[in-house]
């Protein structure tokens, strides 16, 4: 698969983890995290490696500063290439380091979590969190290549597997009803992952800088999901778990305001429940959730904005959603 963008294009391909050692021929340094470094020890490219503490805590200004200073200390130059091997945290942090070191150097995304394979490694969005909120500093800096070591998923903990499955279901819901049946029979197979990447590729090519609304459809379940994550302090639930709940509630909302065909919310709920994902709102005050939604980046007017399903397989951005309707759905629990 090839993704085209304003500055060129990049190839996305599948590989075996044993092929990663060959990155030593084309890259000069690696950013990763401790879990990934340990899990892929046998095939690690012999290159200087910056190893992050696993988890969202590493998407910070502090880690960013340490990592970029480390690159400078390695003497990396403009034409050197960075390999970013890990989940979405490593991809976002490492990609942002590549975007800003010497005003931008080339990097290869090597996603090792399911979520990173189907989502965060594609589209060129990189960044870090600020104290004021998640992903508030960042850049559009597409990789020069995405290399997916599919068999690396063998060591991914099952909770993180389910986490990625939530985004996989999202692709079926927003763009491809046929994919739903395949997920049910095959789970997160390589061909299912391939299809998800195709869908994301099409969407990001149509809306590289998030200006036309097409890319916003990827945010189905995310307005409420992000609010849940923020309200819980990003600890109790993983991103995919929060958006699983968000997808169910945003389908309820869509049905309530007449944007979503009736019956969709139940279908969404059943698919996600069967995948072992949570679908019920945790115990957080509705006012807190509404407050976080008011700060949402998609919002451009006084009302709230949601990417809502019209039916299974189709999604559109609805920008003028009355807060009272959202409140009513959240209060139903």
When binding is defined by CB under 6 A, the residue of 20, 23, 27, 36 that contacts ligand NAD is 36
Question: What count of other Cβ atoms lies within 10 Å of the Cβ of residue 119?
Answer: 26
DSSP state, residue 262: T
Piece of the chain touching ligand NAD by CB under 6 A; list 66-74, 80-88, 283-291, 319-327: 80-88
Per CB under 6 A, does 88 bind ligand NAD?
Answer: yes
Among the listed residues 141, 239, 269, 298, the single catalytic one is 239
d(CA 148, CA 85): 10
- List Cα–Cα distances, 270 to 184, 247, 248, 292, 333, in angstroms: 11, 12, 9, 27, 16
- Which among 249, 242, 329 is positioned nearest to 278, based on CA atoms? 242
CA dist 32 and 112 (Å) reads 10
Q: Among residues 111 and 254, whose Cβ is nearest to ligand NAD?
A: 111
Binding-residue pattern over the window 128 to 147 for ligand NAD, x denoting contact by CB under 6 A: -------x------------
Burial category of 157 from C-beta neighbours within 10 Å (exposed 0-12, middle 13-18, buried 19 and up):
exposed
Q: Using the rule CB under 6 A, which residue among 1, 15, 21, 39 binds ligand NAD?
A: 39
User: What element of type H or E holds 196?
Assistant: helix 190-206
Nearer to ligand NAD by Cβ, of 76 and 218: the residue is 218
The answer to whether residue 160 is catalytic is no
125 catalytic? Reply is yes
Determine whether 145 is an active site residue. Answer: no
- Give the contacts of 290 (CB within 8 A, at least 6 positions apart): 227, 323, 326, 327, 330
The residue at minimum Cβ distance from ligand NAD is 88
Exactly one of 200, 269, 298, 316 is catalytic; which is it?
Answer: 200
| Binding of ligand NAD by 250 (CB under 6 A) | no
Which of the residues 41 through 60 are near ligand NAD (CB under 6 A)?
A: 54-56, 59
Catalytic site residue 200? yes
Q: Alpha-carbon dihedral of residues 309, 310, 311, 316, nearest 10 degrees?
A: -50
Encode burial over 120-149: b for 16+ CB neighbours within 10 A, e otherwise.
Answer: bbbbbbbbbbeeeeeeebbebbbbbbbbbb
The answer to whether 239 contacts ligand NAD (rule: CB under 6 A) is yes
For residue 155, state whether it binds ligand NAD (rule: CB under 6 A). Answer: yes
Residue whose tokens read 């690690």: 44
- Closest approach, Cβ 207 to ligand NAD, in A, equals 13
- Does 30 contact ligand NAD by CB under 6 A? no
Question: Is residue 94 involved in binding ligand NAD (CB under 6 A)?
Answer: no
Q: How far apart are CA 85 and CA 83, in angstroms?
A: 6
Query: How many of the chain's residues bind ligand NAD (CB under 6 A)?
Result: 29
The reply to whether 223 sits near ligand NAD by the rule CB under 6 A is no
Backbone angles phi, psi at 272, to 5 degrees: -70, -40
User: Looking at beta carbons only, is 124 or 254 nearer to ligand NAD?
Assistant: 124
Residues that bind ligand NAD (CB under 6 A): 33, 35-36, 39, 54-56, 59, 86-90, 92, 112-113, 115-116, 119-120, 123, 125, 135, 152, 155-156, 160, 163, 239
Q: Catalytic residue positions?
A: 103, 125, 167, 200, 210, 215, 219, 222, 226, 239
């Amino acid at each position: 698969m090839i993704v085209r963008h304003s500055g060129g294009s990049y190839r996305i391909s599948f590989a075996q983890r044993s092929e990663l050692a060959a990155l030593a021929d084309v890259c000069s340094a690696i950013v990763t995290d401790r879990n990934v470094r340990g899990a892929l020890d046998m095939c690690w490219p012999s290159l200087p490696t910056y190893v992050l503490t696993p988890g969202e805590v590493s998407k910070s200004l502090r880690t960013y500063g340490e990592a970029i200073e480390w690159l400078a200390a390695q003497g990396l130059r403009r034409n050197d290439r960075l390999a970013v091997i890990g989940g979405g945290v490593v991809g976002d942090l490492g990609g942002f380091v590549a975007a800003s070191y010497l005003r931008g150097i080339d990097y290869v995304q090597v996603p090792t979590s399911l979520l990173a394979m189907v989502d965060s490694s594609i589209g060129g969005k990189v960044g870090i969190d600020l104290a004021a909120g998640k992903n508030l500093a960042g850049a559009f800096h597409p990789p020069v290549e995405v290399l997916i070591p599919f068999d690396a998923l063998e060591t991914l903990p099952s909770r993180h597997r389910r986490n990625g499955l939530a985004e996989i279901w999202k692709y079926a819901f927003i763009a491809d009803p046929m994919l739903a049946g395949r997920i049910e029979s095959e789970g997160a197979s390589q061909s299912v992952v391939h299809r998800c990447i195709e869908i994301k590729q099409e969407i990001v090519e149509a809306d590289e800088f998030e200006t036309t609304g097409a890319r916003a459809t990827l945010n189905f379940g995310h307005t409420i999901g992000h609010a849940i994550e923020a309200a819980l302090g990003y600890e109790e639930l993983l991103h995919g778990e929060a958006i699983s709940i968000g997808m169910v509630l945003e389908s309820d909302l869509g049905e309530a305001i007449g944007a979503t065909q009736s019956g969709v919310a139940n279908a969404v709920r059943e698919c996600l429940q069967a995948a072992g994902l949570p679908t019920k709102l945790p115990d957080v005050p509705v006012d807190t959730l509404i407050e976080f939604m008011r700060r949402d980046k998609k919002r451009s007017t006084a009302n709230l904005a949601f990417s809502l399903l019209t039916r299974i397989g189709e999604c559109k951005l609805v920008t003028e959603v009355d807060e009272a309707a959202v409140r009513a759905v959240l209060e139903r629990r």
